[in-house]
Structure 1
């Protein structure tokens, strides 16, 4: 993979040209960002953990028939993915009041919502990713009404699956952000889940203690981000903590 062509670089990942047409290599960086990159740091080991956790979740979603761009993990930091046309929307699914929702509506953090809520944000860093409605999305052609129906259906299905997955290991899925893309196969197009699902884009709270096991630890200067991500991986059966002093980063085990 020497001298491979860089296709795109975001805040937490780099996309490289893949080994076959229609594929990309997704590289997970150790960069930690918040508030639309206004806060930035590098936290060693974060990218390795996000790669492993996202791989596990995407594999489980593939198994239940949710279409995704994920093909396989290549190494500790990289995945092979299908090349898709990213829809310029961040889709946020909320189960519990937290973050910007609490601030906007004056809700106490931790309040269970009457039902899961799906929100859309236009992907534009220079505009701080503004919240948009379905009317905006269809009027400006970011997605068609049938595509939005597919996105909504998949988002709620993913939410149902993840809620149960995390509940089974003592974690409350508060909210999470996902992205979708158009996968072209000849003249046929379908909407698929893209990007990643990791503690970087989920709010995950311990059910008993309410401890935060996600990027809020970085946003709120709480510390212990890698340790929190390690705990999520451990509960999912992916990670064995290395007790040896002086070693940096996590120790990972292969999927069963």
Structure 2
């Protein structure tokens, strides 16, 4: 397979076309950003860590029957993925109150959420990824009711798999976001799953082991990502 021109460059990843119209190369860069790009920094090893972390998680999800766009690792920072027609709606599950939920509702950080909450956000950086609902998604043509129902079902299936995986490593899966797309008409999990897009706490100490370390200036960002990986069995070399 031949890697060709860049198709898209996001905040931390770049996407390249290939000689296969159904396949792309996803490159994880060392770039890190927060607060809609207002805080930026390059963190050594981040691209490698997130690429291998994502591959491990995607393979676990595939083994559990969840369709993903991931196909194979290509290098330390690259992987081959299916080319999806992305749906511009992010699915967010929260198992524990943290982040924007705490700010919006004034609830206490760390409160267990039973049952877990499910939220939808429009993927639009310029508008700050506003919260939406199923009605808005349908009305504006961002997703059909059938697609939304499948996305929700898959998002909770991911929750069941990953909550247990991280619990086995002594961690709490606080919350996470997922993005989906269409591959030959079928709903498939896209983008990535790494500590960049979820919150993970140590189950005993509640130490933050995710991107909040970067957002809050706690330091040791990549070291925390690697610690999470080691606890669940990711091999970084």
CA shift for structure 1 position 238: 2.1
Structure 2, unpaired ranges of 5+: none
Poorly superposed stretches of 4+, deviation over 3 Å: none
Quote the residue 2:215 is aligned against. Answer: 219
Quote the residue 2:131 is aligned against. Answer: 131
Structure 1 Cα separation of the partners of residues 222 and 43 of structure 2:
8
Contact kept? 1:121, 1:129, Cα under 8 Å: yes
The structure having more radius of gyration, on CA atoms, is 1
CA shift for structure 1 position 71: 0.4
CA shift for structure 1 position 233: 1.2
Contact kept? 2:86, 2:181, Cα under 8 Å: yes
Quote the residue 1:68 is aligned against. Answer: 68
1:153-183 Cα shifts (integer Å, max 9, x gaps): 0000001111011001101000001100011
Quote the residue 2:231 is aligned against. Answer: 235
Quote the residue 1:196 is aligned against. Answer: 192
1:17-56 Cα shifts (integer Å, max 9, x gaps): 1242200000001111111111111111111111011000
Quote the residue 2:49 is aligned against. Answer: 49
Structure 1, unpaired ranges of 5+: 240-251
Quote the residue 2:91 is aligned against. Answer: 91
Quote the residue 2:31 is aligned against. Answer: 31
1:117-141 Cα shifts (integer Å, max 9, x gaps): 1111111111111011111101101
Quote the residue 1:154 is aligned against. Answer: 154
Q: How does 1:106-125 map to 2 (within 5 A)?
A: 106-125=106-125
CA shift for structure 1 position 3: 7.5
Contact kept? 2:2, 2:19, Cα under 8 Å: no
CA shift for structure 1 position 4: 2.2
TM-score by length of 2: 0.97
TM-score by length of 1: 0.90
Superposed CA RMSD: 1.2
Structure 2 Cα separation of the partners of residues 39 and 90 of structure 1:
22
Quote the residue 1:181 is aligned against. Answer: 181
Structure 2 Cα separation of the partners of residues 36 and 134 of structure 1:
24
Structure 1 Cα separation of the partners of residues 143 and 21 of structure 2:
25
Contact kept? 1:18, 1:80, Cα under 8 Å: no
Question: What is the number of residues matched between the two proteins?
Answer: 237
- Secondary structure of the 1:238 match is coil
Structure 2 Cα separation of the partners of residues 120 and 151 of structure 1:
10
1:54-93 Cα shifts (integer Å, max 9, x gaps): 0001001111110110101111000100000000011111
- Secondary structure of the 2:223 match is helix
Q: How does 1:160-171 map to 2 (within 5 A)?
A: 160-171=160-171
